[in-house]
Amino acid sequence: MRDIVDISIVGAGPAGATAALVVGQTECRSLLIDEQRQAGGQVWRAKDRSILSAPATPESRSGDNLRERLAASGVSQMTDTRVWQIERQGEHWVIHTLRNGTAGRLYSRAVILATGAREEAQPVRGWTTPGVIGLAGATALFKQSIRLPGRASVVAGTGPLVFFVASEIRRLGGTVAAVVTPNTRADWLARLPSMMARPDLLWRGGRWVADLMLASVPIYWGHAVKSVSGDDRVIGVTLCRLATDGTPLPGDIGIAADSVCLGGGLAPSIEAAQLAGVAVRYRPDLGGWVSEAESDGSTAREGLFLAGDSCGIRGAVAAELHGQIVARTALRHIGQASASDPALERAYRRASRFGEAMTALSVLRADPIGLATPDTVVCRCESLTRRAIEDEIESGAVSSNAVKSGQRAGMGPCGGKYCQSSVARLIALQENRALSEIAPPTPRPPIRPVPVSALAGDFDYGDLPMPKPAPL
Ligand SMILES: Cc1cc2nc3c(=O)[nH]c(=O)nc-3n(C[C@H](O)[C@H](O)[C@H](O)COP(=O)(O)OP(=O)(O)OC[C@H]3O[C@@H](n4cnc5c(N)ncnc54)[C@H](O)[C@@H]3O)c2cc1C
């Protein structure tokens, strides 16, 4: 007989974990699944065992507090588990998992997807050189293993993350060669009224910038990294100033560095929701393509709910509140009494205002593809350059799906996470169409790499039923 869970939650970041805590207070059977070893998601990522005695940070404290609450609640957790397919079978959702190399299936009456965000890559010449890492990715290095990207780093990207990463590098004893951000001081001033919704976070961000200025770290406002130099390791970067419309201006600036943290903003992780049949729409104000969901997390698919950054980038504070709201919606769906909470919804709206202002600052002012030269690698899994993709579009491949089948862009291990947005921008540019018209490729399982051996299981060749040869 099948073991059926009432509510499964995929993703144990602020949204999914708080949803699990709410569901865990009821009698219903729930399960929290995440591919990381411990709950916490991106922002509250747990420290590795080797650095447990390292000084606490606001993020590590919040994460430890969450993990303690989860342990005390008795919520069932399945960590180190990748979800690679979600489908509807009759009255239930089937979640396909991979854990310790073994494939499994879970049946659930309702599912909350809280799969968070992914980092957008910014393809410029040399961005695949060893020593270049993602800006958001750098936070994982600090939090999990207190490792620095190098000895002298250029930190480049948008929104508050660029200042957080630069100040963390300094706190951990590294050198920041320069901070480079396409945002201008005027961009930040324009968002000040929305940021007043969370004066505590505004104050924290102000301290990061003040610390960098006091340490005389050069901050290049309204600039972008144009190229990274070095053959087998980074030796420096070239910057350019951006015009008000975001196009690069002449007059290059060279900076010596052995590492670069390079970010192009965050985009919602929509693949799991897409596989489950949720429609997507283009919302650049929320990070790009987002899955369609109501503010209470409900979607057009029965028993499927979305929480946190996976349905629009609004940040960790909003995600934590959203998880609680969506848990109540899911509980009502399975017939448990759970009243909505107007105070919680008000707090969520306030946190969203702050988060959306940060997202607006994180959306690149310059079209990131404008900085890629014809020989710049765009799809790193398949080593496809901008020129190769443009040639494919020129030959008639004018959709993301067509470029994918013609050139394999997005068919490598990352499943398109690195190149998908750039391919869409190249199509839009070449075909003179709006980005909102270039839909992401049709989602296909597996959304995470799965070894064929895990699907095939153990078998003896002698036991395989061999069909008789067809008569000639
Ligand atoms: C790399 C990265 C670093 C970031 N660092 C910061 C930071 O330092 N500070 C900050 O304020 N914001 C940071 N952000 C933004 C931050 O993620 C969010 O604002 C916040 O954590 C959103 O919470 P969430 O619960 O919606 O998603 P997340 O915290 O992203 O949690 C989503 C969880 O879902 C899991 N998951 C996703 N897909 C699957 C799958 N198929 N199978 C199993 N598990 C899955 C992930 O492992 C993750 O734990 C970062 C984002 C990224 C992408």
Other Cβ atoms less than 10 A from the Cβ of 315: the count is 26
Residue bearing tokens 């690149």 = 364
Give the C-alpha distances (Å, rounded to integers) separating 238 from 234, 350, 393. Answer: 12, 39, 29
Two tokens, residue 310: 């996976």
What CATH number has the domain spanning 121-264?
A: 3.50.50.60
Specify whether the CB–CB gap between 127 and 377 falls below 8 A. yes
- How remote is the C-alpha of 195 from its chain's centroid? 22
The fraction of the chain above a pLDDT of 70, given in percent, is 99
> 35 C-alpha vs ligand 1 centroid, how far in Å?
11
> 319 C-alpha vs ligand 1 centroid, how far in Å?
10
- Judged against a pLDDT cut of 80, whether residue 117 lies above it is answered with yes
> 242 C-alpha vs ligand 1 centroid, how far in Å?
30
Atom of ligand 1 at shortest distance to CA of 97?
42
CA dist., res. 63 & res. 184, Å (int): 32
CB-based pocket (< 6 A), ligand 1: 10-16, 33-36, 41-43, 82-83, 114-119, 136-137, 139-140, 266, 269, 272, 308-310, 315-316, 319, 447-448
CA dist., res. 232 & res. 265, Å (int): 26
Omega of the bond leading into 446 within 30 degrees of 0 (cis): yes
- Judged against a pLDDT cut of 80, whether residue 47 lies above it is answered with yes
pLDDT of residue 316: 95
Strand, coil or helix: what is 31?
A: strand
Other Cβ atoms less than 10 A from the Cβ of 184: the count is 15
- Judged against a pLDDT cut of 90, whether residue 427 lies above it is answered with yes
What is the average per-residue pLDDT within 258-282? Answer: 96
Hey, which of 10, 21, 34, 43 would you mutate to test ligand 1's pocket, going by the most ligand atoms within 8 Å of its Cβ? Answer: 43
Specify whether the CB–CB gap between 299 and 306 falls below 8 A. yes
For 53, residues 6+ apart whose C-beta sits below 8 A from its C-beta are none
Confidence bin at 1 (pLDDT 50/70/90): low
List every span in the chain annotated with CATH 1.10.10: 372-437
342-351, 368-377, 427-436 — which is least confidently predicted? Answer: 368-377
What CATH number has the domain spanning 4-118+267-359?
A: 3.50.50.60
> 162 C-alpha vs ligand 1 centroid, how far in Å?
17
Atom of ligand 1 at shortest distance to CA of 448?
41
Confidence bin at 87 (pLDDT 50/70/90): very high
> 462 C-alpha vs ligand 1 centroid, how far in Å?
46
- Judged against a pLDDT cut of 90, whether residue 422 lies above it is answered with yes
pLDDT of residue 366: 62
Nearest to 104 by CA among 95, 112, 113: 95
The per-residue b/e assignment along 433-464, b for 16 or more CB within 10 angstroms, e otherwise, is eebeebebbebeebbbebeeebeeeeeeeeee
> 187 C-alpha vs ligand 1 centroid, how far in Å?
25
pLDDT of residue 51: 86
For the chain, percent helix, then strand, then coil, each to nearest 5?
35, 25, 40
**What's the alpha-carbon Rg for the chain, to the nearest Å?**
23
CB burial of residue 238 (10 Å; 0-12, 13-18, 19+) = middle
The fraction of the chain above a pLDDT of 90, given in percent, is 81
2-6, 7-11, 214-218 — which is least confidently predicted? Answer: 2-6
What CATH number has the domain spanning 372-437?
A: 1.10.10
Hey, which of 42, 61, 198 would you mutate to test ligand 1's pocket, going by the most ligand atoms within 8 Å of its Cβ? Answer: 42
List every span in the chain annotated with CATH 3.50.50.60: 4-118+267-359, 121-264
- Terminal-residue alpha carbon distance, the chain: 45
Two tokens, residue 64: 């430890």
Residue bearing tokens 């394999």 = 408
- Judged against a pLDDT cut of 70, whether residue 456 lies above it is answered with yes
- How remote is the C-alpha of 105 from its chain's centroid? 25
Q: Is the dihedral of CA 65, 66, 70, 76 positive or negative?
A: negative
What is the average per-residue pLDDT within 2-30? Answer: 95
Helices of type H across 259-398: 271-275, 315-333, 342-362, 386-394
- Judged against a pLDDT cut of 70, whether residue 365 lies above it is answered with no
Q: Atom 40, ligand 1: which residue's CA is nearest?
A: 83
Give the C-alpha distances (Å, rounded to integers) separating 369 from 160, 259, 446. Answer: 22, 22, 28
- How remote is the C-alpha of 422 from its chain's centroid? 16
- Judged against a pLDDT cut of 80, whether residue 397 lies above it is answered with yes
pLDDT of residue 235: 98
The string of pLDDT tens digits covering residues 383-396 is 999 999 999 999 99
> 286 C-alpha vs ligand 1 centroid, how far in Å?
15
The string of pLDDT tens digits covering residues 138-158 is 999 999 999 999 999 999 999
Nearest to 361 by CA among 100, 126, 185: 185
Compute the mean pLDDT over every residue in the chain, rounded to the nearest whole number: 93
The string of pLDDT tens digits covering residues 205-235 is 999 999 999 999 999 999 999 999 999 999 9
CA dist., res. 165 & res. 179, Å (int): 10
